Amino acid sequence: MADNKPAMDIAALEAFLSREFPQAFHPASGLSIEKVWFGGSRVRQAFRDHFIRPGGTISGPTMMMLADFALYVAVLAAIGPVGLAVTTNLNINFLRRPEQCDITAEARILKLGKRLAVLECSIFSDGVAEPVAHVTSTYSIPPISGT
Amino acid sequence: MADNKPAMDIAALEAFLSREFPQAFHPASGLSIEKVWFGGSRVRQAFRDHFIRPGGTISGPTMMMLADFALYVAVLAAIGPVGLAVTTNLNINFLRRPEQCDITAEARILKLGKRLAVLECSIFSDGVAEPVAHVTSTYSIPPISGT
Amino acid sequence: MADNKPAMDIAALEAFLSREFPQAFHPASGLSIEKVWFGGSRVRQAFRDHFIRPGGTISGPTMMMLADFALYVAVLAAIGPVGLAVTTNLNINFLRRPEQCDITAEARILKLGKRLAVLECSIFSDGVAEPVAHVTSTYSIPPISGT
Amino acid sequence: MADNKPAMDIAALEAFLSREFPQAFHPASGLSIEKVWFGGSRVRQAFRDHFIRPGGTISGPTMMMLADFALYVAVLAAIGPVGLAVTTNLNINFLRRPEQCDITAEARILKLGKRLAVLECSIFSDGVAEPVAHVTSTYSIPPISGT
Protein backbone atom coordinates (compact mmCIF):
# COMPACT_ATOMS: atom_id res chain seq x y z
CA MET A 1 0.00 0.00 0.00
CA ALA A 2 2.05 2.91 -1.24
CA ASP A 3 1.77 6.34 0.37
CA ASN A 4 -0.18 7.65 -2.60
CA LYS A 5 -3.31 9.47 -3.66
CA PRO A 6 -6.34 8.93 -1.42
CA ALA A 7 -9.86 8.42 -2.78
CA MET A 8 -10.89 11.60 -0.91
CA ASP A 9 -8.72 14.52 0.10
CA ILE A 10 -9.04 16.46 3.38
CA ALA A 11 -11.55 18.96 1.98
CA ALA A 12 -13.76 16.20 0.57
CA LEU A 13 -13.56 14.25 3.83
CA GLU A 14 -14.47 17.29 5.91
CA ALA A 15 -17.44 18.06 3.67
CA PHE A 16 -18.64 14.46 3.84
CA LEU A 17 -18.24 14.21 7.62
CA SER A 18 -19.92 17.57 8.28
CA ARG A 19 -22.88 16.48 6.19
CA GLU A 20 -23.21 12.87 7.36
CA PHE A 21 -21.99 13.12 10.98
CA PRO A 22 -22.97 16.63 12.11
CA GLN A 23 -23.36 15.47 15.75
CA ALA A 24 -19.74 14.31 15.90
CA PHE A 25 -17.87 16.47 13.41
CA HIS A 26 -18.67 20.15 13.77
CA PRO A 27 -16.66 23.33 14.35
CA ALA A 28 -16.87 23.12 18.16
CA SER A 29 -15.88 19.42 18.31
CA GLY A 30 -12.17 20.16 18.21
CA LEU A 31 -11.65 17.31 15.73
CA SER A 32 -9.51 17.95 12.67
CA ILE A 33 -7.89 15.95 9.89
CA GLU A 34 -4.19 16.69 9.53
CA LYS A 35 -3.16 14.31 6.77
CA VAL A 36 -4.63 11.56 4.64
CA TRP A 37 -3.13 9.19 2.15
CA PHE A 38 -4.13 5.94 0.50
CA GLY A 39 -3.62 3.63 3.46
CA GLY A 40 -3.82 5.95 6.44
CA SER A 41 -4.66 9.16 8.23
CA ARG A 42 -3.51 11.48 10.98
CA VAL A 43 -6.13 13.34 13.02
CA ARG A 44 -6.26 15.57 16.07
CA GLN A 45 -8.55 16.21 19.02
CA ALA A 46 -8.08 19.63 20.57
CA PHE A 47 -7.97 19.60 24.35
CA ARG A 48 -11.27 20.10 26.17
CA ASP A 49 -11.69 20.49 29.95
CA HIS A 50 -14.29 17.74 30.14
CA PHE A 51 -11.74 15.17 28.93
CA ILE A 52 -9.76 15.54 32.19
CA ARG A 53 -9.66 12.66 34.64
CA PRO A 54 -8.07 12.36 38.11
CA GLY A 55 -4.34 12.94 38.07
CA GLY A 56 -4.57 15.38 35.19
CA THR A 57 -4.94 12.77 32.49
CA ILE A 58 -7.39 12.31 29.61
CA SER A 59 -10.27 9.83 29.67
CA GLY A 60 -10.11 6.46 27.96
CA PRO A 61 -13.34 7.04 26.01
CA THR A 62 -11.81 10.23 24.54
CA MET A 63 -8.95 8.14 23.17
CA MET A 64 -11.32 5.48 21.86
CA MET A 65 -13.41 8.15 20.15
CA LEU A 66 -10.36 9.67 18.47
CA ALA A 67 -9.12 6.25 17.33
CA ASP A 68 -12.55 5.52 15.88
CA PHE A 69 -12.39 8.84 14.00
CA ALA A 70 -8.87 8.22 12.64
CA LEU A 71 -9.81 4.70 11.51
CA TYR A 72 -12.97 5.87 9.76
CA VAL A 73 -11.10 8.67 7.97
CA ALA A 74 -8.49 6.14 6.81
CA VAL A 75 -11.21 3.81 5.50
CA LEU A 76 -12.97 6.63 3.65
CA ALA A 77 -9.66 7.82 2.23
CA ALA A 78 -9.18 4.33 0.79
CA ILE A 79 -12.64 3.39 -0.47
CA GLY A 80 -14.31 6.78 -0.97
CA PRO A 81 -17.69 7.99 0.33
CA VAL A 82 -19.54 4.72 -0.25
CA GLY A 83 -21.29 5.11 3.09
CA LEU A 84 -22.08 2.73 5.88
CA ALA A 85 -18.71 1.18 6.48
CA VAL A 86 -19.09 0.13 10.10
CA THR A 87 -16.72 -0.87 12.86
CA THR A 88 -17.20 -4.50 13.81
CA ASN A 89 -14.32 -4.84 16.28
CA LEU A 90 -12.05 -2.46 18.15
CA ASN A 91 -9.29 -3.53 20.53
CA ILE A 92 -7.39 -0.92 22.51
CA ASN A 93 -4.35 -1.23 24.77
CA PHE A 94 -3.73 1.72 27.06
CA LEU A 95 0.02 2.17 27.34
CA ARG A 96 0.81 5.39 29.19
CA ARG A 97 -1.10 8.20 30.87
CA PRO A 98 -1.80 10.97 28.35
CA GLU A 99 -0.92 14.50 29.31
CA GLN A 100 -3.36 17.35 29.58
CA CYS A 101 -3.05 18.55 25.99
CA ASP A 102 -4.23 17.77 22.45
CA ILE A 103 -4.12 14.14 21.37
CA THR A 104 -3.36 12.93 17.87
CA ALA A 105 -3.97 9.58 16.22
CA GLU A 106 -2.31 7.90 13.27
CA ALA A 107 -4.21 5.11 11.54
CA ARG A 108 -2.76 2.66 9.05
CA ILE A 109 -4.56 0.02 6.99
CA LEU A 110 -3.12 -3.46 7.53
CA LYS A 111 -5.43 -5.11 5.02
CA LEU A 112 -8.03 -3.77 2.64
CA GLY A 113 -10.27 -6.58 1.45
CA LYS A 114 -13.56 -6.54 -0.42
CA ARG A 115 -15.59 -7.15 2.72
CA LEU A 116 -13.29 -6.24 5.61
CA ALA A 117 -10.61 -3.70 6.33
CA VAL A 118 -8.21 -4.25 9.25
CA LEU A 119 -6.35 -1.26 10.65
CA GLU A 120 -4.07 -0.26 13.45
CA CYS A 121 -3.86 3.13 15.11
CA SER A 122 -1.46 4.75 17.56
CA ILE A 123 -2.55 7.60 19.81
CA PHE A 124 -0.18 10.28 21.07
CA SER A 125 -0.09 13.16 23.50
CA ASP A 126 0.76 16.01 21.15
CA GLY A 127 4.51 16.29 20.73
CA VAL A 128 5.39 13.15 22.73
CA ALA A 129 7.10 10.34 20.80
CA GLU A 130 5.89 7.30 22.77
CA PRO A 131 2.23 6.43 22.11
CA VAL A 132 -0.36 6.58 24.91
CA ALA A 133 -2.53 3.87 23.37
CA HIS A 134 -2.56 1.36 20.51
CA VAL A 135 -5.66 0.17 18.66
CA THR A 136 -6.49 -2.53 16.14
CA SER A 137 -9.88 -2.52 14.48
CA THR A 138 -11.95 -4.15 11.77
CA TYR A 139 -14.41 -2.42 9.48
CA SER A 140 -17.09 -4.17 7.49
CA ILE A 141 -17.27 -2.71 3.99
CA PRO A 142 -20.73 -2.76 2.43
CA PRO A 143 -21.21 -4.52 -0.90
CA ILE A 144 -21.17 -2.20 -3.89
CA SER A 145 -24.77 -1.24 -4.56
CA GLY A 146 -26.45 -3.32 -7.21
CA THR A 147 -24.74 -6.49 -6.07
CA MET B 1 -18.46 -15.17 42.67
CA ALA B 2 -21.83 -15.21 44.34
CA ASP B 3 -24.37 -12.45 43.79
CA ASN B 4 -23.64 -10.99 47.20
CA LYS B 5 -22.80 -7.80 49.04
CA PRO B 6 -20.67 -5.29 47.12
CA ALA B 7 -17.82 -3.33 48.71
CA MET B 8 -19.73 -0.14 47.82
CA ASP B 9 -23.46 0.29 47.32
CA ILE B 10 -25.08 2.58 44.72
CA ALA B 11 -25.15 5.64 46.99
CA ALA B 12 -21.47 5.23 47.91
CA LEU B 13 -20.53 4.70 44.27
CA GLU B 14 -22.45 7.78 43.14
CA ALA B 15 -20.82 9.92 45.85
CA PHE B 16 -17.35 8.63 44.90
CA LEU B 17 -17.87 9.13 41.16
CA SER B 18 -19.36 12.61 41.58
CA ARG B 19 -16.37 13.65 43.65
CA GLU B 20 -13.59 11.96 41.65
CA PHE B 21 -14.97 12.12 38.10
CA PRO B 22 -17.08 15.28 38.00
CA GLN B 23 -16.38 15.80 34.28
CA ALA B 24 -17.89 12.41 33.42
CA PHE B 25 -20.46 11.72 36.13
CA HIS B 26 -22.72 14.67 36.81
CA PRO B 27 -26.48 15.26 36.83
CA ALA B 28 -26.64 16.24 33.14
CA SER B 29 -24.54 13.28 31.94
CA GLY B 30 -27.50 10.94 31.80
CA LEU B 31 -25.43 8.18 33.40
CA SER B 32 -26.94 6.19 36.23
CA ILE B 33 -26.20 3.06 38.21
CA GLU B 34 -29.13 0.66 38.30
CA LYS B 35 -27.71 -2.29 40.21
CA VAL B 36 -24.45 -3.43 41.74
CA TRP B 37 -23.38 -6.65 43.37
CA PHE B 38 -20.10 -8.30 44.25
CA GLY B 39 -19.06 -9.35 40.76
CA GLY B 40 -21.01 -7.02 38.51
CA SER B 41 -23.06 -3.96 37.71
CA ARG B 42 -25.87 -2.68 35.51
CA VAL B 43 -25.75 0.92 34.33
CA ARG B 44 -27.72 3.18 31.99
CA GLN B 45 -27.02 6.02 29.59
CA ALA B 46 -30.08 8.16 28.92
CA PHE B 47 -30.58 9.02 25.28
CA ARG B 48 -29.01 12.25 24.04
CA ASP B 49 -29.48 13.76 20.57
CA HIS B 50 -25.75 14.08 19.99
CA PHE B 51 -25.33 10.27 20.19
CA ILE B 52 -27.29 9.86 16.94
CA ARG B 53 -25.50 8.65 13.84
CA PRO B 54 -26.71 8.14 10.24
CA GLY B 55 -29.59 5.70 10.00
CA GLY B 56 -30.94 6.64 13.42
CA THR B 57 -28.40 4.63 15.37
CA ILE B 58 -26.11 5.44 18.30
CA SER B 59 -22.39 6.09 17.95
CA GLY B 60 -19.76 3.45 18.72
CA PRO B 61 -17.88 5.72 21.12
CA THR B 62 -21.08 6.18 23.16
CA MET B 63 -21.25 2.40 23.61
CA MET B 64 -17.54 2.20 24.47
CA MET B 65 -17.96 4.97 27.04
CA LEU B 66 -20.90 3.21 28.68
CA ALA B 67 -19.04 -0.11 28.76
CA ASP B 68 -16.07 1.63 30.38
CA PHE B 69 -18.42 3.06 33.00
CA ALA B 70 -20.11 -0.28 33.73
CA LEU B 71 -16.74 -2.02 34.03
CA TYR B 72 -15.33 0.60 36.38
CA VAL B 73 -18.43 0.47 38.57
CA ALA B 74 -18.13 -3.33 38.76
CA VAL B 75 -14.45 -3.06 39.74
CA LEU B 76 -15.18 -0.47 42.45
CA ALA B 77 -18.07 -2.58 43.73
CA ALA B 78 -15.61 -5.46 44.16
CA ILE B 79 -12.50 -3.76 45.53
CA GLY B 80 -13.88 -0.56 47.06
CA PRO B 81 -12.73 3.02 46.52
CA VAL B 82 -9.00 2.25 46.42
CA GLY B 83 -8.62 4.67 43.54
CA LEU B 84 -6.60 4.51 40.36
CA ALA B 85 -7.68 1.18 39.01
CA VAL B 86 -7.07 1.73 35.30
CA THR B 87 -8.21 0.04 32.13
CA THR B 88 -5.31 -1.62 30.35
CA ASN B 89 -7.23 -3.34 27.55
CA LEU B 90 -10.71 -3.09 26.09
CA ASN B 91 -12.00 -5.21 23.23
CA ILE B 92 -15.45 -4.51 21.74
CA ASN B 93 -17.46 -6.39 19.15
CA PHE B 94 -20.32 -4.45 17.63
CA LEU B 95 -23.16 -6.91 17.04
CA ARG B 96 -26.30 -5.05 15.98
CA ARG B 97 -27.34 -1.46 15.32
CA PRO B 98 -28.64 0.12 18.51
CA GLU B 99 -31.95 1.89 18.40
CA GLN B 100 -32.52 5.55 19.14
CA CYS B 101 -33.19 5.13 22.84
CA ASP B 102 -31.44 4.63 26.19
CA ILE B 103 -28.67 2.04 26.28
CA THR B 104 -27.85 -0.16 29.25
CA ALA B 105 -24.76 -2.18 30.06
CA GLU B 106 -24.25 -5.20 32.27
CA ALA B 107 -20.72 -5.93 33.46
CA ARG B 108 -19.54 -9.17 35.07
CA ILE B 109 -16.16 -9.98 36.58
CA LEU B 110 -14.58 -13.06 35.01
CA LYS B 111 -11.54 -12.99 37.26
CA LEU B 112 -10.55 -10.83 40.19
CA GLY B 113 -6.85 -11.18 40.91
CA LYS B 114 -4.52 -9.16 43.08
CA ARG B 115 -3.08 -7.25 40.15
CA LEU B 116 -5.60 -7.67 37.34
CA ALA B 117 -9.36 -7.92 36.97
CA VAL B 118 -10.86 -9.30 33.75
CA LEU B 119 -14.47 -8.50 32.95
CA GLU B 120 -17.05 -8.87 30.24
CA CYS B 121 -19.91 -6.51 29.46
CA SER B 122 -22.97 -6.69 27.24
CA ILE B 123 -24.63 -3.55 25.93
CA PHE B 124 -28.33 -3.35 25.13
CA SER B 125 -30.84 -1.03 23.53
CA ASP B 126 -33.22 -0.53 26.41
CA GLY B 127 -35.85 -3.26 26.42
CA VAL B 128 -34.33 -5.34 23.60
CA ALA B 129 -33.10 -8.82 24.55
CA GLU B 130 -30.29 -9.28 22.03
CA PRO B 131 -27.17 -7.25 22.88
CA VAL B 132 -25.92 -4.52 20.52
CA ALA B 133 -22.29 -4.97 21.58
CA HIS B 134 -20.07 -7.21 23.69
CA VAL B 135 -16.95 -6.11 25.52
CA THR B 136 -14.09 -7.80 27.36
CA SER B 137 -11.67 -5.68 29.35
CA THR B 138 -8.76 -5.83 31.79
CA TYR B 139 -8.18 -3.50 34.73
CA SER B 140 -4.88 -3.08 36.49
CA ILE B 141 -5.43 -2.93 40.23
CA PRO B 142 -2.96 -0.78 42.14
CA PRO B 143 -0.91 -2.37 44.92
CA ILE B 144 -2.35 -1.79 48.38
CA SER B 145 -0.58 1.27 49.79
CA GLY B 146 2.35 0.41 52.00
CA THR B 147 3.41 -2.52 49.84
CA MET C 1 -31.12 -18.26 19.56
CA ALA C 2 -32.97 -21.14 21.12
CA ASP C 3 -31.16 -24.30 22.21
CA ASN C 4 -32.56 -26.18 19.25
CA LYS C 5 -31.68 -28.39 16.31
CA PRO C 6 -28.26 -27.77 14.77
CA ALA C 7 -27.64 -27.80 11.01
CA MET C 8 -25.23 -30.72 11.58
CA ASP C 9 -25.24 -33.25 14.40
CA ILE C 10 -22.12 -34.68 16.08
CA ALA C 11 -21.80 -37.58 13.65
CA ALA C 12 -22.10 -35.28 10.63
CA LEU C 13 -19.59 -32.84 12.13
CA GLU C 14 -17.09 -35.60 12.88
CA ALA C 15 -17.39 -36.98 9.35
CA PHE C 16 -16.93 -33.51 7.85
CA LEU C 17 -13.94 -32.63 10.05
CA SER C 18 -12.21 -35.98 9.50
CA ARG C 19 -12.54 -35.53 5.76
CA GLU C 20 -11.68 -31.82 5.50
CA PHE C 21 -9.22 -31.39 8.39
CA PRO C 22 -7.43 -34.75 8.68
CA GLN C 23 -4.25 -33.08 10.00
CA ALA C 24 -6.11 -31.57 12.97
CA PHE C 25 -9.00 -33.91 13.65
CA HIS C 26 -7.97 -37.55 13.72
CA PRO C 27 -8.24 -40.42 16.21
CA ALA C 28 -4.93 -39.62 17.94
CA SER C 29 -5.63 -35.88 18.28
CA GLY C 30 -7.58 -36.28 21.49
CA LEU C 31 -10.21 -33.83 20.22
CA SER C 32 -13.86 -34.74 20.59
CA ILE C 33 -17.24 -33.06 20.25
CA GLU C 34 -19.41 -33.52 23.33
CA LYS C 35 -22.48 -31.52 22.45
CA VAL C 36 -23.78 -29.26 19.68
CA TRP C 37 -26.88 -27.18 19.34
CA PHE C 38 -28.03 -24.33 17.14
CA GLY C 39 -25.99 -21.55 18.68
CA GLY C 40 -23.16 -23.39 20.39
CA SER C 41 -20.92 -26.35 21.09
CA ARG C 42 -18.99 -28.11 23.82
CA VAL C 43 -15.73 -29.84 22.91
CA ARG C 44 -12.87 -31.58 24.70
CA GLN C 45 -9.13 -31.96 24.34
CA ALA C 46 -7.75 -35.04 26.06
CA PHE C 47 -4.60 -34.40 28.06
CA ARG C 48 -1.31 -34.92 26.27
CA ASP C 49 2.16 -34.77 27.87
CA HIS C 50 3.45 -32.26 25.34
CA PHE C 51 0.86 -29.68 26.49
CA ILE C 52 2.63 -29.37 29.85
CA ARG C 53 4.42 -26.14 30.73
CA PRO C 54 6.50 -25.17 33.77
CA GLY C 55 4.58 -25.42 37.00
CA GLY C 56 2.44 -28.28 35.74
CA THR C 57 0.13 -26.13 33.65
CA ILE C 58 -1.08 -26.34 30.04
CA SER C 59 0.26 -24.16 27.24
CA GLY C 60 -1.57 -21.09 25.98
CA PRO C 61 -1.49 -22.27 22.36
CA THR C 62 -3.25 -25.49 23.41
CA MET C 63 -6.09 -23.39 24.83
CA MET C 64 -6.20 -21.19 21.73
CA MET C 65 -6.32 -24.28 19.52
CA LEU C 66 -9.21 -25.76 21.50
CA ALA C 67 -11.13 -22.47 21.45
CA ASP C 68 -10.63 -22.29 17.68
CA PHE C 69 -12.03 -25.82 17.39
CA ALA C 70 -15.06 -25.10 19.60
CA LEU C 71 -15.84 -21.92 17.68
CA TYR C 72 -15.58 -23.61 14.29
CA VAL C 73 -17.83 -26.47 15.42
CA ALA C 74 -20.40 -23.93 16.65
CA VAL C 75 -20.29 -22.09 13.32
CA LEU C 76 -20.71 -25.31 11.32
CA ALA C 77 -23.55 -26.39 13.61
CA ALA C 78 -25.31 -23.14 12.74
CA ILE C 79 -24.66 -22.73 9.03
CA GLY C 80 -23.92 -26.29 7.89
CA PRO C 81 -20.97 -27.60 5.86
CA VAL C 82 -20.76 -24.63 3.51
CA GLY C 83 -16.97 -24.67 3.79
CA LEU C 84 -14.38 -21.95 4.08
CA ALA C 85 -15.76 -20.01 7.01
CA VAL C 86 -12.57 -18.45 8.35
CA THR C 87 -11.57 -16.83 11.61
CA THR C 88 -10.83 -13.15 11.12
CA ASN C 89 -10.26 -12.17 14.76
CA LEU C 90 -9.66 -14.02 18.01
CA ASN C 91 -9.17 -12.36 21.38
CA ILE C 92 -8.25 -14.45 24.41
CA ASN C 93 -7.94 -13.52 28.07
CA PHE C 94 -6.06 -16.02 30.21
CA LEU C 95 -7.74 -16.09 33.60
CA ARG C 96 -6.30 -18.89 35.72
CA ARG C 97 -3.64 -21.56 35.37
CA PRO C 98 -5.16 -24.73 33.95
CA GLU C 99 -4.49 -27.98 35.73
CA GLN C 100 -2.74 -30.97 34.26
CA CYS C 101 -5.85 -32.67 32.89
CA ASP C 102 -8.32 -32.57 29.99
CA ILE C 103 -9.60 -29.15 28.97
CA THR C 104 -13.07 -28.43 27.65
CA ALA C 105 -14.46 -25.45 25.76
CA GLU C 106 -17.98 -24.11 25.42
CA ALA C 107 -18.70 -21.81 22.50
CA ARG C 108 -21.78 -19.66 22.08
CA ILE C 109 -22.84 -17.55 19.11
CA LEU C 110 -23.42 -13.90 20.06
CA LYS C 111 -24.48 -12.88 16.57
CA LEU C 112 -25.04 -14.79 13.37
CA GLY C 113 -25.13 -12.42 10.42
CA LYS C 114 -24.99 -13.06 6.69
CA ARG C 115 -21.33 -12.13 6.47
CA LEU C 116 -19.99 -12.38 10.01
CA ALA C 117 -20.55 -14.53 13.06
CA VAL C 118 -19.37 -13.32 16.48
CA LEU C 119 -18.90 -15.88 19.23
CA GLU C 120 -17.61 -16.22 22.75
CA CYS C 121 -16.02 -19.27 24.30
CA SER C 122 -15.05 -20.27 27.82
CA ILE C 123 -12.31 -22.82 28.48
CA PHE C 124 -12.25 -25.05 31.54
CA SER C 125 -9.99 -27.49 33.30
CA ASP C 126 -12.17 -30.57 33.29
CA GLY C 127 -14.45 -30.57 36.30
CA VAL C 128 -13.49 -27.10 37.57
CA ALA C 129 -16.25 -24.48 37.59
CA GLU C 130 -14.21 -21.30 37.09
CA PRO C 131 -12.95 -20.88 33.51
CA VAL C 132 -9.21 -20.83 32.75
CA ALA C 133 -9.64 -18.60 29.70
CA HIS C 134 -12.26 -16.58 27.84
CA VAL C 135 -12.32 -15.97 24.10
CA THR C 136 -14.26 -13.78 21.70
CA SER C 137 -13.92 -14.35 17.98
CA THR C 138 -15.27 -13.34 14.59
CA TYR C 139 -15.79 -15.62 11.62
CA SER C 140 -16.22 -14.44 8.08
CA ILE C 141 -18.96 -16.44 6.38
CA PRO C 142 -18.51 -16.95 2.65
CA PRO C 143 -21.26 -15.77 0.31
CA ILE C 144 -23.63 -18.52 -0.73
CA SER C 145 -22.39 -19.85 -4.07
CA GLY C 146 -24.17 -18.35 -7.02
CA THR C 147 -24.37 -14.89 -5.47
CA MET D 1 13.42 1.73 22.89
CA ALA D 2 16.62 1.72 20.88
CA ASP D 3 17.66 -1.34 18.88
CA ASN D 4 20.31 -2.18 21.44
CA LYS D 5 21.71 -4.93 23.60
CA PRO D 6 19.18 -7.49 24.84
CA ALA D 7 19.20 -8.92 28.38
CA MET D 8 19.73 -12.35 26.81
CA ASP D 9 21.30 -13.22 23.46
CA ILE D 10 20.13 -16.00 21.13
CA ALA D 11 22.35 -18.65 22.71
CA ALA D 12 21.19 -17.79 26.23
CA LEU D 13 17.54 -17.75 25.11
CA GLU D 14 17.86 -21.13 23.40
CA ALA D 15 19.48 -22.64 26.48
CA PHE D 16 16.77 -21.22 28.74
CA LEU D 17 13.91 -22.35 26.50
CA SER D 18 15.35 -25.85 25.99
CA ARG D 19 15.64 -26.27 29.74
CA GLU D 20 12.34 -24.67 30.81
CA PHE D 21 10.08 -25.51 27.87
CA PRO D 22 11.37 -28.83 26.53
CA GLN D 23 7.90 -29.86 25.33
CA ALA D 24 7.64 -26.78 23.07
CA PHE D 25 11.22 -25.92 22.16
CA HIS D 26 13.24 -28.91 21.05
CA PRO D 27 15.26 -29.84 17.98
CA ALA D 28 12.30 -31.38 16.13
CA SER D 29 9.94 -28.48 16.82
CA GLY D 30 11.14 -26.46 13.87
CA LEU D 31 11.18 -23.31 16.00
CA SER D 32 14.22 -21.05 15.84
CA ILE D 33 15.23 -17.58 16.99
CA GLU D 34 16.62 -15.48 14.16
CA LYS D 35 17.24 -12.16 15.86
CA VAL D 36 16.74 -10.51 19.22
CA TRP D 37 17.29 -6.99 20.44
CA PHE D 38 16.17 -4.94 23.41
CA GLY D 39 12.59 -4.35 22.38
CA GLY D 40 11.91 -7.16 19.95
CA SER D 41 12.54 -10.49 18.28
CA ARG D 42 12.26 -12.34 14.99
CA VAL D 43 11.51 -16.06 15.07
CA ARG D 44 10.75 -18.82 12.57
CA GLN D 45 8.61 -21.93 12.39
CA ALA D 46 9.81 -24.43 9.81
CA PHE D 47 7.05 -25.87 7.69
CA ARG D 48 5.46 -29.11 8.91
CA ASP D 49 2.90 -31.17 6.99
CA HIS D 50 0.47 -31.23 9.90
CA PHE D 51 0.09 -27.44 9.76
CA ILE D 52 -1.67 -27.70 6.39
CA ARG D 53 -5.34 -26.85 6.14
CA PRO D 54 -7.80 -27.03 3.22
CA GLY D 55 -6.73 -24.91 0.28
CA GLY D 56 -3.05 -25.41 1.03
CA THR D 57 -2.88 -22.91 3.83
CA ILE D 58 -1.51 -23.04 7.38
CA SER D 59 -3.70 -23.40 10.48
CA GLY D 60 -4.64 -20.44 12.67
CA PRO D 61 -3.39 -22.14 15.85
CA THR D 62 0.05 -22.56 14.22
CA MET D 63 0.19 -18.79 13.71
CA MET D 64 -1.02 -18.12 17.27
CA MET D 65 1.62 -20.48 18.65
CA LEU D 66 4.38 -18.76 16.69
CA ALA D 67 3.19 -15.31 17.79
CA ASP D 68 3.16 -16.50 21.39
CA PHE D 69 6.74 -17.71 20.95
CA ALA D 70 7.96 -14.47 19.37
CA LEU D 71 6.31 -12.40 22.10
CA TYR D 72 7.79 -14.48 24.89
CA VAL D 73 11.27 -14.29 23.36
CA ALA D 74 10.93 -10.49 23.10
CA VAL D 75 9.87 -10.27 26.77
CA LEU D 76 12.77 -12.47 27.91
CA ALA D 77 15.19 -10.45 25.78
CA ALA D 78 14.03 -7.34 27.63
CA ILE D 79 13.72 -8.52 31.23
CA GLY D 80 16.00 -11.55 31.33
CA PRO D 81 15.26 -15.06 32.62
CA VAL D 82 13.17 -13.98 35.61
CA GLY D 83 10.73 -16.76 34.87
CA LEU D 84 6.96 -16.92 34.97
CA ALA D 85 6.09 -13.96 32.81
CA VAL D 86 2.67 -15.02 31.53
CA THR D 87 0.41 -13.95 28.69
CA THR D 88 -2.75 -12.35 30.01
CA ASN D 89 -4.27 -11.25 26.69
CA LEU D 90 -3.68 -12.04 23.04
CA ASN D 91 -5.62 -10.52 20.16
CA ILE D 92 -5.02 -11.74 16.61
CA ASN D 93 -6.33 -10.48 13.30
CA PHE D 94 -5.96 -12.88 10.40
CA LEU D 95 -5.19 -10.82 7.31
CA ARG D 96 -4.28 -13.09 4.40
CA ARG D 97 -4.00 -16.81 3.74
CA PRO D 98 -0.47 -17.99 4.51
CA GLU D 99 1.30 -20.06 1.91
CA GLN D 100 2.55 -23.59 2.38
CA CYS D 101 6.02 -22.68 3.62
CA ASP D 102 7.89 -21.49 6.72
CA ILE D 103 6.30 -18.68 8.71
CA THR D 104 8.19 -15.98 10.55
CA ALA D 105 7.08 -13.58 13.27
CA GLU D 106 8.44 -10.21 14.34
CA ALA D 107 7.55 -8.99 17.81
CA ARG D 108 8.00 -5.47 19.11
CA ILE D 109 7.47 -4.13 22.62
CA LEU D 110 5.03 -1.20 22.69
CA LYS D 111 5.38 -0.65 26.42
CA LEU D 112 7.54 -2.22 29.08
CA GLY D 113 6.18 -1.42 32.53
CA LYS D 114 6.99 -2.86 35.93
CA ARG D 115 3.93 -5.08 35.95
CA LEU D 116 2.82 -5.33 32.33
CA ALA D 117 4.43 -5.47 28.93
CA VAL D 118 2.36 -4.75 25.81
CA LEU D 119 3.63 -5.99 22.46
CA GLU D 120 2.65 -6.29 18.85
CA CYS D 121 3.67 -8.97 16.40
CA SER D 122 3.38 -9.42 12.65
CA ILE D 123 3.41 -12.87 11.07
CA PHE D 124 4.67 -13.52 7.56
CA SER D 125 4.83 -16.28 5.00
CA ASP D 126 8.56 -16.56 4.50
CA GLY D 127 9.70 -14.11 1.85
CA VAL D 128 6.34 -12.36 1.39
CA ALA D 129 6.21 -8.68 2.35
CA GLU D 130 2.55 -8.36 3.40
CA PRO D 131 1.81 -9.94 6.80
CA VAL D 132 -0.60 -12.87 7.12
CA ALA D 133 -1.63 -11.94 10.65
CA HIS D 134 -1.20 -9.20 13.25
CA VAL D 135 -1.18 -9.72 17.00
CA THR D 136 -1.25 -7.52 20.08
CA SER D 137 -0.63 -9.07 23.47
CA THR D 138 -0.09 -8.29 27.14
CA TYR D 139 2.29 -10.06 29.49
CA SER D 140 2.13 -9.91 33.25
CA ILE D 141 5.60 -9.52 34.69
CA PRO D 142 6.10 -11.13 38.09
CA PRO D 143 7.29 -8.96 40.98
CA ILE D 144 11.01 -9.19 41.62
CA SER D 145 11.51 -11.88 44.24
CA GLY D 146 11.77 -10.51 47.74
CA THR D 147 9.10 -7.88 47.19
pLDDT of residue C2: 47
Which residue from A minimizes the CA distance to D93? Answer: A118
Distance CA D35, CA B29 (A): 51
What is this structure's pTM?
A: 0.94
CB D78 within 8 Å of CB D7: yes
For residue B90, give how far its alpha carbon lies from the nearest alpha carbon of chain C (Å): 11
pLDDT of residue C126: 96
- Residues D56-88: pLDDT tens digits? 789 999 999 999 999 999 999 999 997 678 999
Distance CA C29, CA B91 (A): 32
Interface touch B89/A88, C-beta < 8 Å: no
| Band (B144; pLDDT cuts 50, 70, 90) | low
Which residue from B minimizes the CA distance to D117? Answer: B88
Average pLDDT over residues D106-111: 98
pLDDT of residue A144: 63
Interface membership of D110 toward B (CB under 8 Å): no
Could you give all domains of chain C from N- to C-terminal order, each with its CATH number? 10-140 (3.10.129.10)
CB B8 within 8 Å of CB B36: yes
Q: Work out the burial of residue C96: count CB atoms within 10 Å of its CB; fewer than 13 is exposed, 13-18 middle, 19 or more buried.
A: middle
Which residue from A minimizes the CA distance to B136? Answer: A91
By mean pLDDT, which of B103-107, C138-142, D2-6 is the weakest?
D2-6
- Residues A92-115: pLDDT tens digits? 999 999 999 999 999 999 999 999
Chain C residues within 8 A of D21 when measuring between CB atoms = 53-54
Distance CA D71, CA C61 (A): 13
Interface membership of D88 toward B (CB under 8 Å): yes
Q: D130: which DSSP letter?
A: S
Tell me phi and psi for residue A71, to 5 degrees: -65, -45
Tell me phi and psi for residue D54, to 5 degrees: -50, 140
Asked whether residue A147 carries a pLDDT value surpassing 80, the answer given is: no
pLDDT of residue D1: 45
For residue B95, give how far its alpha carbon lies from the nearest alpha carbon of chain C (Å): 6
Alpha carbon D136 to its chain's center:
11
Its ipTM equals 0.93
Average pLDDT over residues B44-68: 90
Interface membership of B108 toward C (CB under 8 Å): no
Interface touch B23/A52, C-beta < 8 Å: yes
Distance CA D37, CA A13 (A): 41
pLDDT of residue D142: 83
Average pLDDT over residues C123-139: 97
For residue B110, give how far its alpha carbon lies from the nearest alpha carbon of chain A (Å): 18
Asked whether residue B142 carries a pLDDT value surpassing 60, the answer given is: yes
Chain C residues within 8 A of B120 when measuring between CB atoms = 120, 134
